[in-house]
Amino acid sequence: MTKYQEKAKIVDLEEMGADVVRVRLRAERIAEAARPGQFVMVRFNEQLDPLLRRPFSLHSVDRRGRVDLLVKVVGRGTALLRTLQAGKDVLDLVGPLGNGFSWYAEGPVCLIGGGIGVAPLYYLASVLHEQQPERKIHILLGGRTGREVKVFANRFSWSGHEVAVATDDGSLGYHGLVPDLLADLLAGVCQVYGCGPYGMLRSVALACRQAGVPCQVSMETHMACGLGACLGCTIVAADGRYLHVCKDGPVFDAEKVAWKP
């Protein structure tokens, strides 16, 4: 599959709360080639410090060549985003990278996201819905506060999906951790997709294993190249071997991952 480097014009920047910015970019070749679960490596400026690109899941891709990313502003690189202007500045993207999610032709599924982990699930839900509008798609979203989760919960609901929310402070939906919401759903779905913090993914993987439901997780690690060259983005597989998130993933069958306690 062909990868591209594109100087992508920023079409829109939107603050989503909780230091998350939604960046809409015009990246036609990447949009054309992309599938849900894939990612891009982003360079925020041409300086040598910060040096390395950062990986971001594709949050949404449309037919007009527009790509959305959700960027949580945590360091100097991502902070640069707030100095950039829509309609004027560009971001340097390399992608689409990685394997992406896979799905059965039919059957109800559950998408579970924690915090910024919601990013690739929106793209997945859109494609699943487009391919088979009758398919039941359950969305479970978790976060620290209602303010962090609400905007994404609304977007999924507008698209006609059934959404349940869990927050750490109880300010919206269930007061507790989002994997707790899985228990009631697992009997009725044929596939679970998860993205979020490590501990959340581990809980999701464990719950799915107990229920005998297949689960795909999108993993995150330190990564230098995104192209399979540096071999830096290692995770440990269930059989003890090393996997590389950029090439073997970022989406893994949860049973193939060695979950650290």
Task: State the residues that interact with another protein by CB under 8 A.
Answer: 2-5, 43, 48-53, 94, 221-225, 227-236, 241-242
Q: How far is the CB of 222 from another protein (least distance, A)?
A: 5
Q: How far is the CB of 241 from another protein (least distance, A)?
A: 7
Distance CA 108, CA 67 (A): 27
Residue 62 CB coordination number (10 Å): 11
Our CB check for another protein shows the closer of 129 and 247 to be 247
* DSSP-derived 3-state class of residue 181: helix
Q: How far is the CB of 74 from another protein (least distance, A)?
A: 13
* DSSP-derived 3-state class of residue 23: strand
Residues 6 or more apart whose CB falls under 8 angstroms from that of 158 comprise: none
Our CB check for another protein shows the closer of 49 and 130 to be 49
Our CB check for another protein shows the closer of 73 and 190 to be 73
Q: How far is the CB of 7 from another protein (least distance, A)?
A: 12
Distance CA 231, CA 109 (A): 33
Our CB check for another protein shows the closer of 153 and 223 to be 223
What is the token pair recorded at 2?
A: 């062909």
Our CB check for another protein shows the closer of 41 and 192 to be 41
Let me know if 153 is exposed, middle or buried by CB neighbors in 10 A (0-12, 13-18, 19+). Answer: buried
Q: How far is the CB of 52 from another protein (least distance, A)?
A: 5
